[in-house]
Amino acid sequence: MTNLKGYMRIKEASTLLGVSPMTLRNWDKQDKLKPHRNPINGYRLYKKEELLRVLRSVESDSSFGSKKSFEMEETTARR
């Protein structure tokens, strides 16, 4: 866990969501999930509460699409 309370690095966030770090980068580009940036090194930092919102969104078929499309995006990102 990062030193910043309530924030997670991209690897930690991807593990929590069950997706690859590349998928999180793609969501950043698509404005689906915007991370905060560490002002010192520019690393992506994700608010834990935002990540939990994403988990709920995936489960309820909202802006991230259905579970099936969520999994398809993950598979595509790995190629």
Residue 55: the pLDDT is 87
Instruction: From residue 15, give the alpha-carbon distance in Å to each of 39, 40, 56.
Output: 23, 24, 16
pLDDT per residue as tens digits for the range 36-72: 999 999 999 999 999 999 888 877 765 565 455 555 5
Average pLDDT of the residues in 8-21: 94
* CA atoms of 36 and 74, how far apart (whole Å): 22
Question: Among candidates 66, 76, 64, 60, which has minimal Cα distance to 20?
Answer: 76
**Least confident residue range of 4-13, 15-24, 25-34, 53-62:** 53-62
Which is more confidently placed, 21 or 75?
A: 21
Domains located in the chain, CATH noted: 7-78 (1.10.1660.10)
**Residue pointed to by tokens 């793609």:** 26
pTM: 0.68
Residue 77: the pLDDT is 52
**Residue 26, token pair as written in the block:** 């793609």
**Residue 47, token pair as written in the block:** 């608010």
